[in-house]
Amino acid sequence: MNDRVSETALNAAQALGQVSRAWDDDIVSQISHYIGIPAKSPAFDADWAQNGYIDTVVRHAASWVEAQKVDGLKLEIIRLEGRTPVLFFELPASMGSADLAVAPAKAASNPTVLMYGHLDKQPEFTGWRSDLGPWTPKYENGKLYGRGGADDGYAIYASIAAIQALKSQQVAHPRIVGLIETCEESGSYDLLPYIDALGSRLGEVALVVCLDSGAGNYDQLWLTSSLRGMASGVLKVEILTEGVHSGDASGLVPSSFRIMRQVLDRLEDSATGRLLPPSFHCEVPPDRLAQAQATAAILGDEVHQRFPWAHYDCGGATVFALPTTADPVQALLSRTWAPTLSVTGAEGFPNFKNAGNVLRPYSAFKLSLRLPPLVDAASAVQQLKRLLEDNAPYQARVTFESAGASTGWNAPSTAPWFEQALNAASQAYFGAPCGYIGQGGTIPLMSMLSKGFPKAQMMVCGVLGPKSNAHGPNEFLHVPYAKKLTAAVAQVMAQLPR
């Protein structure tokens, strides 16, 4: 490749054409292969090292990157003992020859773009369409179905395709590094040691491109403005040492499930879903409220229509289950700035086939507590443990064992160049301005990076739009949107001031 780099802006039509061909000719098949490998995160596969699935997807992605032969790009698989591996790549800045001749030191201090994604996956879950499955990829009407394609296996492939779009047009670009982890779905507890180990190699990060988030629709570029935190763990209530005849004991022996309900009532108002501890709440910043109002005007009822509501026939009319609120603004704030409790698993309950007339000795729930972006997760876990365990009804044995906590994230103020670049890219590839939306999920890395690089701009975006259903059945990657997002990322990176 010619080393001389032009100073012209990225040609949007040419970039989208190249990116689209890369997706159609190669990337879709690469992600399909990835979907077929059950590379579940360590939280869901305790024997991940022995099973080898995580190593397999990491090696496969690394081989593909190396096969692209991107000029100047160096990639390695880094392994710290006892931890999940990461992919790390480096690409030096590519500048015009005139700049290098006048100020060669400028290139050495060039700001860095950090591109992030992950290759570990959530477990299978149930309810997949009869012709679909978590490990059986299917490409249908522009949607690639299967576990992990959208969350977040596509990220490494889209990152390299964006870089190739810059290289092919010889457009100047900043230094770029990539960090692809394999512990994100477990809370990224392995990531901080790698960031510490790679600290000097990350450089002066001025822009983070995180491709692990969502989109309000598939009609424009969406920037994630906030992420909720999370605290998870197992709440267990024990009242007996073994199961006993329910007719003999009920009425005298309290039900472990009833005690469980009493304990959870300390945490949540079951009628409204509101969490009761005031410290679990925070005030919504004025700029985030204004963005929620603007986004509600764009999406309207799509805010709640994106979910697969249960429905049934009643007298010839179809009745749908209802959301907590029909107001789009309140709906956006409830899923991004309000704390919420979900029970994501249970033990101590036999299935229906084996459920005899037995008073069970214990009940255990896996709790997932989503926290507002400005609430400290570690403090919340400590308070949660005291709240649930103290003064147990009937002196039952009540324990809460934390399974990890991650503080949320609120994006820094948007720099003028970044806002202009986002809108220009969204207009170029979608014909609409960039939208801003908070996400209810958690990306632990973002809080880490904001502390480590407080001046960096954060391009947190992704393909998880309406009905894409990450973590659940029928997860899909919206390929037409992914193509445009890939090209948009390339254009924004090219606009980073140097």
State pLDDT tens for residues 93-135: 997 433 443 344 444 467 999 999 999 999 999 999 999 999 9
Whether pTM > 0.85 for this model: the answer is yes
What tokens appear for 425 in the block? 């890219």
CATH number for the 229-282+309-406 domain, one of 1.20.272.10, 1.10.10.10, 3.40.50.720, 3.30.70.360? 3.30.70.360
**138 Cβ contact partners less than 8 Å away, ≥ 6 residues apart:** 131, 132, 144, 145, 146
Predicted confidence band of residue 451 (pLDDT cuts 50, 70, 90): confident
Query: Which CATH architecture fits 12-227+408-494?
Result: 3-Layer(aba) Sandwich (3.40)
Rounded CA separation 422/424 (Å): 5
* Alpha-carbon dihedral 305, 323, 298, 496, rounded to 10 degrees: -90
Rounded CA separation 281/408 (Å): 12
Rounded CA separation 241/21 (Å): 63
Residue ranges of domains in the chain: 12-227+408-494, 229-282+309-406
CA 387 to chain centre: 29
pLDDT of residue 246: 96
Count Cβ atoms below 10 Å from residue 324 Cβ, excluding itself. Answer: 15
Residue 6: is its pLDDT beyond 70?
Answer: no
Rounded CA separation 91/42 (Å): 30
State pLDDT tens for residues 241-271: 999 999 999 999 999 999 999 999 999 999 9
What is the Cβ-side half-sphere exposure of residue 149, based on CA atoms within 13 angstroms?
A: 31
β-pair partners for 423: none
CB 470 within 8 A of CB 122: yes
Residue 145: is its pLDDT beyond 80?
Answer: yes
Q: How high does pLDDT run on average in the chain?
A: 94
Phi, psi of 361 (to 5 degrees): -75, -25
pLDDT of residue 100: 42
State pLDDT tens for residues 376-431: 999 999 999 999 999 999 999 999 999 999 999 999 999 999 999 999 999 999 99
Rounded CA separation 371/470 (Å): 19
pLDDT of residue 109: 60
